[in-house]
């Protein structure tokens, strides 16, 4: 029984292969960091929006007053 050869091309030189892998890893890290930053920005915005809607109440004349200001001791 004879062994079949793979039709895959021979691998690149080890240093070139490692360089390519490093580039792929760095690109993935940058994409991951960008995604994390975007998600954190949206999280903080949503937290701020939630606090804004829960803490502020309408008063006479259409002005908003902060409830927290009334509850903080002087």
Tens digit of each residue's pLDDT (9 = 90 or more) over 42-64 = 999 999 999 988 887 666 555 55
Q: Quick one: pLDDT at residue 70?
A: 56
42 in a domain, yes or no? yes
Find the domain containing 20 and state its range.
Answer: 14-71
Q: Please give the torsion angle defined by the CA atoms of residues 3, 8, 14 and 15, in that order, rounded to the nearest 10 degrees.
A: 170
Cα(25)–Cα(35) distance, rounded to whole angstroms? 15
8 in a domain, yes or no? no
7 in a domain, yes or no? no
Nearest Cα residue to 66 out of 1, 58, 38 = 58
Overall domain count for the chain: 1
61 in a domain, yes or no? yes
Kindly state the percentage of the chain with pLDDT values over 70: 59
Higher pLDDT, 53 or 73: 53
Tens digit of each residue's pLDDT (9 = 90 or more) over 12-46 = 678 999 999 999 999 999 999 999 999 999 999 99
Q: Report CA torsion sign: 51, 54, 55, 57.
A: positive
Q: Is the pTM of this model over 0.75?
A: no
50 in a domain, yes or no? yes
Beta carbons within 8 Å of 67's beta carbon, 6+ residues apart = 55, 56, 57
């Amino acid at each position: 029984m004879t062994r079949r050869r793979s039709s895959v091309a021979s691998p690149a030189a080890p240093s070139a292969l490692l360089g390519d892998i490093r580039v792929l890893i760095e690109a993935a890290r940058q994409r991951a960091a960008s995604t994390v930053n975007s998600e954190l920005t949206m999280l903080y915005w949503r937290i701020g929006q939630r606090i804004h809607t829960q803490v502020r109440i309408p008063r006479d004349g259409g002005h908003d007053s902060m409830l927290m200001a009334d509850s903080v001791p002087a």
